[in-house]
Amino acid sequence: MKIEVKNLTKYFGNFVALKNINLEIIPGELLALLGPSGSGKTTLLRMIAGLETVEDIDSGEILFNQINVAKKDIAQRDIGFVFQHYALFRHMTVFENIAFGLRVKPKKQRLSNDEINKKVTKLLNLIQLDGFANRFPWQLSGGQRQRVALARALAVEPKVLLLDEPFGALDAKVRSDLRRWLKQLQEELKITTILVTHDQEEALEVADRIVVISKGKIEQVGTPEEVFHNPANEFVINFLGNVNLFHERKNDTEQKYHIRPH
Ligand code: ADP
């Protein structure tokens, strides 16, 4: 799915949350929206999702494969979500949580129980939770729950996956494992993915491209190495410019992207 955001401005009352955003999301890429808290990342994601629409006071377009969906709500788009506090249905097993989206499909598109079984089993394997089908959410760790949330989002085979700080509530080790795993999964599925994060390291590690946002404006768009090695302006330098982070990450980055030291 090709997504284009054109001249998008979004107001909340008198407050401008997004200022003239222009952005193209390449089909199959993992794009990170990176910026400090309050910079407008979630608002942009919600607008792409259709959870916020373009109202009279706002302006701009959001195109999904060339069709303007800016004033249309979520039903018009083909997306899966995972949020930081994505609540699984507590009274449903892991299996039923993942199958949920398949069971509520319109009758014509609905799969047979056999097909649902096959699909959920495959997804359980993909999230490395074979054998967990009959557990309830409270019997899982935080990381396992987020993997189930991801499987639930993927079950309906959306064209776009939107992730809002999906690992934010987890501890550092689990978060780092899940990032690596998300990257692998995304590379395998090649589903167009937008990840909201305020964590520079997370963006560097998983994204194909990073959009740096501050106060509702895009400061830079580029690959991780472009953004980290050639920050576009003072804001990006300061935001990423934790020198320790930069030096610590530099070796990893050089190895990962085969960048030769200057
Ligand atoms: P981020 O995801 O980068 O933390 P948000 O997109 O959540 O930032 O918020 C951007 C700004 O817009 C913040 O100042 C926030 O307070 C404001 N904002 C977000 N949603 C609303 C809303 N529904 N009503 C009023 N202000 C909002």
**Which of ligand 1's atoms lies nearest the C-alpha of 39?**
3
What are the beta bridge partners of residue 31? 194, 209
Distance 46 CA to ligand 1 centre (A): 11
Q: Which atom of ligand 1 is nearest to the CA of 33?
A: 3
> What pLDDT shows up at residue 208?
96
The pLDDT tens digits of the residues spanning 79-96 come to 888 877 667 999 999 999
Q: Is the pLDDT of residue 261 over 70?
A: no
- Cβ neighbours for 122, distance < 8 A, ≥ 6 positions apart: none
Which among 10, 47, 86, 95 is positioned nearest to 194, based on CA atoms?
A: 47
Task: Tell me, yes or no, whether 45 lies in a domain.
Answer: no
Supply the DSSP symbol for 159. Answer: S
Q: Give the model's pLDDT for residue 243.
A: 35
How far is residue 143's CA from residue 139's CA, in Å, rounded to a whole number?
Answer: 12
Domain assignment present for 50: no
Structure tokens at 5: 């955001």
Per-residue pLDDT at 46 exceeds 60: yes
User: What pLDDT does residue 80 have?
Assistant: 86
Q: Average of pLDDT values for 171-198?
A: 89
Residue 157 counted as domain residue: yes
61 occurs within a structural domain:
no
Atom 6 of ligand 1: nearest residue by CA position: 40
The number of folded domains in the chain is: 1
The rounded Å distance from CA 197 to ligand 1 centre is 14
Which ligand 1 atom is nearest residue 12's CA?
A: 25
Closest residue (by CA) to atom 17 of ligand 1?
A: 17
Residue for token pair 């090695």: 229
**Model pLDDT, residue 242:** 59
Query: By residue range, what is the domain housing residue 217?
Result: 29-39+81-257
Residue with tokens 């494992």: 177
> Ligand 1 centre and the CA of 8: distance in Å?
15
With 70 as the cut, is the pLDDT of residue 216 above it?
A: yes
Position 247 pLDDT exceeds 80: no
When mean pLDDT is compared across 38-42, 93-97, 180-184, the lowest value belongs to 180-184
- CATH of residue 209: 3.40.50.300
Q: What is the mean pLDDT of residues 227-242?
A: 88
Which residue's CA is the nearest one to ligand 1's atom 19?
43
| Alpha-carbon gap, residue 186 to 191, rounded angstroms | 6
Best probe residue, ligand 1, of 39, 42, 43, 200 (max atoms within 8 Å of C-beta): 43
Please state which of the ranges 102-116, 138-152, 208-222 shows the lowest mean pLDDT: 102-116
Residue that is written with structure tokens 């993992």 in the block: 30
In a domain, 203, yes or no: yes
Q: What is the C-alpha separation between 231 and 221, in angstroms, rounded?
A: 10
Token digits of residue 67: 């069709």
Tokens, residue 58: 């706002």
Residue-level pLDDT at 79:
86
**55: in domain:** no
Q: What is the mean pLDDT of the chain?
A: 88
- Let me know if residue 70 belongs to a domain: no
- pLDDT at 138 > cutoff 90: yes
Q: What is the mean pLDDT of residues 199-226?
A: 95
Q: Show the ligand 1 pocket: residues with CB < 6 angstroms.
A: 12, 15, 17, 35, 37-43
Of 17-26, 79-88, 145-154, 221-230, highest mean pLDDT: 17-26
In the chain, what is the straight-line distance between the N-terminal and C-terminal CA atoms, in Å?
A: 37
For a mutational test of ligand 1's pocket, the pick from 9, 15, 211, 215, i.e. the residue with the most ligand atoms closer than 8 A to its C-beta, is 15
Supply the pTM of this predicted model. Answer: 0.88
Atom 7 of ligand 1 has which residue's CA nearest to it? 42
- Residue 226 falls within a domain, yes or no? yes
> Atom 12, ligand 1: which residue's CA is nearest?
17
Nearest-Å Rg of the Cα atoms of the chain is 19
Atom 13, ligand 1: which residue's CA is nearest? 38
Give the residue, out of 12, 47, 83, with the most ligand 1 atoms within 8 A of its beta carbon, to mutate for a pocket test: 12
pLDDT digits (tens, 9 = 90+) for 95-136: 999 999 899 877 888 889 999 999 999 999 988 899 999 999
Q: How much is the average pLDDT of 211-219? A: 98
**Confidence band (pLDDT; 50, 70, 90) for 167?**
confident
